[in-house]
Amino acid sequence: MATWNSRGLRGSTLEDLLNRTNEKYLENNLALIQKIPTPITPINIDKDSRHITLAYFDQKSTVDYIGVVQGIPVCFDAKECNTDTFPLANIHEHQVEFMRHFEEQNGISFILISYTHKNEFYYLRFQDLLRFWERAAEGGRKSFRYEELDPEYFLPKVPGVLVPYLNCMQKDLNTRD
Report d(CA 153, CA 44) in Å as an integer: 42
Spell out the per-residue pLDDT of the chain, length 177, in tens: 344 343 443 446 899 999 999 999 999 999 999 998 766 666 677 778 877 676 555 556 689 999 999 999 999 999 999 999 999 999 999 999 999 999 999 999 999 999 999 999 999 999 999 999 999 999 999 999 999 999 999 999 988 899 999 999 999 999 997
pLDDT at position 9: 39
pLDDT at position 102: 97
pLDDT at position 57: 54
Report d(CA 15, CA 151) in Å as an integer: 23
pLDDT at position 1: 39
**Which residue numbers belong to the known binding site?**
62, 64, 77, 95
**Which residue numbers belong to the known binding site for Mg(2+)?**
62, 64, 77, 95
CB 40, CB 56: distance < 8 Å? yes
Beta-carbon contacts of 120 under 8 Å, excluding residues fewer than 6 positions away, are 114, 154, 155
pLDDT at position 118: 94
Strands (E), 46-162: 52-57, 65-69, 72-81, 85-87, 108-115, 120-125, 143-145
Global confidence as pTM: 0.83
Amino acid type, 158:
V
Strand partners, 31: 69
Amino acid type, 112:
L
Domain boundaries, the chain: 4-174
pLDDT at position 51: 74
pLDDT at position 55: 57
Q: Please provide the CATH number assigned to the domain covering 4-174.
A: 3.40.1350.10
